[in-house]
Amino acid sequence: MAHIKSLISEDEIASAVAQLGRKITDDYADCELTILGILTGSIVLVTDLMRQIEVSHQLGLVQASSYRGKTTEAGELRINLDFLPEIRGRDVLLVDDIFDTGKTITKIAAQLELFEPKRIRSAVLLWKKSRSEVEAIPDYHCFEIPDEFVVGYGLDYNGEYRNLPYIGVMDK
């Protein structure tokens, strides 16, 4: 097992997610909201966040993956929208674990535009601002982090460590 150094504690995450939930509640008070979690990394954030949002909303999941096996470098992005709920005319909030290069959220948002939502915004737990390769930025984020490979709270390495209740940095 790799050594993992804590970067963001469980309590810090809980506080930030609660604050994000209040902000989204305020911003979407009079909207028809659909939350779309990007699998698999966002699953912990989505479940915690949707309990903090006090406006009626639908939930959907989008499968997207660009990491295979033990790599820490992204490969070709694969997106599966087969189980997308009806989003035509609705406000869509794409929720992901991390905004790294920004390519995942940008590509998914472009594909979602074909379904004619009212508006698409994004919310992420972590933002590696220094790694962004797109013009877009997340509409909501909880933490800006350095360019480190992180695990925990849904983020994995080779399928492991998603269960950690904090965000940690793996030793190289």
- How far apart CA 127 and CA 137 sit, in angstroms, is 9
Spot the catalytic one: 48, 91, 97, 100. Answer: 100
Q: What are phi and psi of 143, to 5 degrees?
A: -140, 140
Q: How many CB atoms lie within 10 A of CB 156?
A: 16
Question: What's the sign of the alpha-carbon dihedral 145, 146, 151, 154?
Answer: positive
Instruction: Provide the greatest CA pair distance for the chain.
Output: 48
Alpha-carbon gap, residue 166 to 24, rounded angstroms: 23
The owner of tokens 């999941």 is 61
Environment class of residue 155 by beta-carbon count within 10 Å: exposed (0-12), middle (13-18) or buried (19+)?
buried
HSE of 83, CA atoms in CB hemisphere, 13 A: 10
Q: Is 100 a catalytic residue?
A: yes
- For the annotated catalytic residues, the residue numbers are 100
